[in-house]
Amino acid sequence: MNIFDAFKDRLVTIIHKLGEAEPRLAGLALDAVTVEAPRDSAHGDLATNAALVLTKQAGMKPRDIAALLVTALDALPEVAAAEIAGPGFINLRLTDAFWHEQLGAILRAGGEYGRSHVGAGSKVNIEYVSANPTGPMHVGHTRGAVFGDSLANLMAYAGFEVCREYYINDAGAQVEVLARSAYLRYREALGEAIGEIPEGLYPGEYLVPVGKALAAEHGDALCALPEAEWLPIVRDTALAAMMELIRADLAALGISHEVFYSERELHASGAIEKTLEFLDSQGLIYVGVLEPPKGKQPDDWEPRPQTLFKATEFGDDVDRALRKSDGSWTYFAPDIAYHYDKFQRGFTTMVDIFGADHGGYIKRMKAAVAALTGGEGALDIKICQLVRLMRDGELVKMSKRAGTFVTLREVVDEVGRDAVRFMMLFRKNDAPLDFDFAKVTEQSRDNPVFYVQYAHARICSVLRNAATAFPDADLGDAALAGADLSRLGTAEELALIRLLASWPEMAERAARNHEPHRIAFFCHSLASEFHALWNKGNDSPQLRFIVAEDRDVTLARLALIRAVALVIATGLRILGVEPAEEMR
């Protein structure tokens, strides 16, 4: 349990106890009571708003409640001072011994420190990437891929049972285009001169091997068949090849999904019809005519009766079409069935990671989930905004037609997996992100990836040097945890322990809010405080981590920085970044 929750528990106990003597404090709802770190550390280590939020319920003045609480809190052994501040805040200052104890606990927990059970094993389905299987992944897919994967790591760390899932859009018109494009390459492989790839087909070189494979397997047999017969064959081969390509691209980023879910399967199994029958039985499907969009009317608008889902009953702006004019399903229909299937597989919490262009899809999908699950299922949709690639301060222009789009693989090959992953997460998901090739490979503090990696490597380096300076000393985590940590007494050292102690709560919040970027920022601030402390030793040699003539203080300081390294490493692993032990 994190220290804030632990102290809230203590506080709740105290309030219940006080209620025995003071009836106005008995039986109060304590949900709004918080214990947190004050923004300004001059105010103390912990602050609670208890007196402020209880004043109305209790019918007492905030400062009167606070006075009672302070007396009781002050009696706790960990509390060095408790005082009333401002309108009725209670600030607590904890003893140095308490913080030393926390540090020992961090080292004993090691890589498990901060892992929590707030998820309580509840099942979460995280769907991310889901790029169309029509070619290699391009850089635009990268952010969502990294975000989803890190979120999955984060939620698993917080005690959720996570399933990483990829929805294969293998049923739309685009896969037929893929099949025709591959067929052309097949004819090319048989020796035919195909010339320019016609407009509307995929021109990419990546289909050349698919054509060759088809030729090797089928010879020229497919040439004699009508399209209706060769298309399914070519399509399936091409699809398999494209998914292979995509898996390899994802592997380059260290990403692998547990489930690849085929849209085609939904069509084949009758799941769509079954799901829509269910909605129909709820009276949520009807045939109607939609209003044209106000203000901006499409040129070819004509009123037309359609099969519609009553999305408006669940907060959407308009009801949504389920069938195209030719009678086939829209994209929405199988997606409804897909989410229903997730729910039936036991996922009451679902997270979808979408690109910026799918913002308009959120309400209808949430509406569908609400309708399908009777409000039992929760769907959160995270939108990852665009990534702007920068090179030499210039925007890298990409065009599919000109064939100048940058692939995910090119970016990873150029700057490395760790840099890509960290940079993609060093921004809130709903803010656009500039990705500068020069910056992410730079070895300077401008580059946050490097900055954090360097802090970790520097700690490893100090520990290596310490092993030389004290060859007989046991520098293992267990031994360091048992060092005389009371030798850590400077304001900076204690501040660093406090920061480390805030990690579990921070990670829990990040997981609950589905915000892995907070982990990246936390790692950065931890690195920053560490670098600052390191430099204290430049000004005053007695403040160095390794003090040759003082073994005890050295061991205590090594314990501190080792804990910093542990937490940075834990954070980086959640982000999918390898903590470096050495910089070269």
Q: Which of residues 306-325 bind RNA (CB under 7 A)?
A: 306, 317, 321, 324-325
Out of 361, 414, 482, 498, name the contact with RNA by CB under 7 A.
361
- Using CB under 7 A, which residues numbered 144 to 173 contact RNA? 169, 172-173
- Using CB under 7 A, which residues numbered 15 to 34 contact RNA? 34
Stretch that binds RNA, among 16-24, 44-52, 153-161, 402-410 (CB under 7 A): 44-52
The 189-228 contact track toward RNA, x by CB under 7 A, reads ----------------------------------------
Helix, strand, coil shares of the chain, percent, nearest 5, are: 55, 15, 30
Closest contact distance (angstroms) between CB of 158 and RNA is 13
**Distance between CA 393 and CA 387 in Å, rounded?**
14
Structure tokens at 439: 């910056």
Closest contact distance (angstroms) between CB of 411 and RNA is 18
Q: Tell me if 8 contacts RNA by CB under 7 A.
A: no
Out of 112, 268, 282, 301, name the contact with RNA by CB under 7 A.
301
Out of 14, 82, 89, 178, name the contact with RNA by CB under 7 A.
89
# binding residues, RNA (CB under 7 A):
100
Q: Do residues 353 and 147 touch, judged by C-beta distance below 8 A?
A: yes
Tell me the angle at which helices 208-218 and 227-252 cross, rounded to the nearest 10 degrees. Answer: 130
Token pair 């300076």 is found at: 469
Whichever of 283 and 360 has its CB closer to RNA, that residue is 360
Token pair 């698993």 is found at: 156
- Using CB under 7 A, which residues numbered 436 to 455 contact RNA? 443-446, 450-451, 454
Q: Do residues 151 and 516 touch, judged by C-beta distance below 8 A?
A: yes
Closest contact distance (angstroms) between CB of 501 and RNA is 12
Please report which helix (H) or strand (E) contains residue 83, including its range.
strand 79-85
Q: Tell me if 490 contacts RNA by CB under 7 A.
A: no
Closest contact distance (angstroms) between CB of 293 and RNA is 4
| DSSP H helical ranges for 141-290 | 142-157, 173-189, 208-218, 227-252, 263-269, 271-281
Whichever of 188 and 341 has its CB closer to RNA, that residue is 341
Burial 180-195 (b: 16+ CB within 10 A, else e): bbbbbbbbbbbeeeee
Whichever of 317 and 552 has its CB closer to RNA, that residue is 317
**Distance between CA 144 and CA 153 in Å, rounded?**
14
- Using CB under 7 A, which residues numbered 98 to 137 contact RNA? 132
Q: Which residues pair with 124 in a beta bridge?
A: 162, 349
**Distance between CA 328 and CA 119 in Å, rounded?**
40
Whichever of 162 and 311 has its CB closer to RNA, that residue is 311
Q: Measuring CA to CA, which residue among 496, 455, 564 is closest to residue 447? A: 455
Out of 199, 205, 300, 394, name the contact with RNA by CB under 7 A.
300
- Using CB under 7 A, which residues numbered 372 to 411 contact RNA? 383, 385
Out of 23, 77, 360, 374, name the contact with RNA by CB under 7 A.
360
Q: φ, ψ for residue 416 (rounded to 5)?
A: 95, 150
Whichever of 213 and 524 has its CB closer to RNA, that residue is 524
Whichever of 34 and 71 has its CB closer to RNA, that residue is 34
Distance of CA 407 to CAs 182, 420, 536, 546, Å?
20, 13, 44, 47
**Distance between CA 532 and CA 579 in Å, rounded?**
20
Stretch that binds RNA, among 103-111, 197-205, 216-224, 302-310 (CB under 7 A): 302-310
Tell me the angle at which helices 332-344 and 362-373 cross, rounded to the nearest 10 degrees. Answer: 40
Contacts of 145 (CB under 8 A, 6+ apart): 128, 129, 137, 250, 253, 255, 408
Stretch that binds RNA, among 10-18, 38-46, 201-209, 276-284 (CB under 7 A): 38-46
Whichever of 99 and 521 has its CB closer to RNA, that residue is 521
Closest contact distance (angstroms) between CB of 506 and RNA is 6
Whichever of 222 and 262 has its CB closer to RNA, that residue is 262
Stretch that binds RNA, among 20-28, 138-146, 245-253, 456-464 (CB under 7 A): 456-464
The 515-554 contact track toward RNA, x by CB under 7 A, reads x-xx--x------x--xx-xxxxxx---xxxx--------
Whichever of 317 and 410 has its CB closer to RNA, that residue is 317
Q: Tell me if 359 contacts RNA by CB under 7 A.
A: yes
Out of 434, 474, 484, 550, name the contact with RNA by CB under 7 A.
434
Read out DSSP for 151-175? HHHHHHHTT-EEEEEEEE--SSHHH
Based on its alpha-carbon atoms, the radius of gyration of the chain, rounded to whole angstroms, reads: 29
- Using CB under 7 A, which residues numbered 338 to 357 contact RNA? 356-357
Closest contact distance (angstroms) between CB of 539 and RNA is 6
Closest contact distance (angstroms) between CB of 527 and RNA is 7
Q: φ, ψ for residue 312 (rounded to 5)?
A: -65, -25
- Using CB under 7 A, which residues numbered 239 to 298 contact RNA? 289-290, 293-296, 298
The 68-87 contact track toward RNA, x by CB under 7 A, reads -----------------xxx
CB atoms within 10 A of CB 233: 18
**Polymer length of the chain:** 584
Contacts of 328 (CB under 8 A, 6+ apart): none
Whichever of 345 and 445 has its CB closer to RNA, that residue is 445
Contacts of 22 (CB under 8 A, 6+ apart): 68
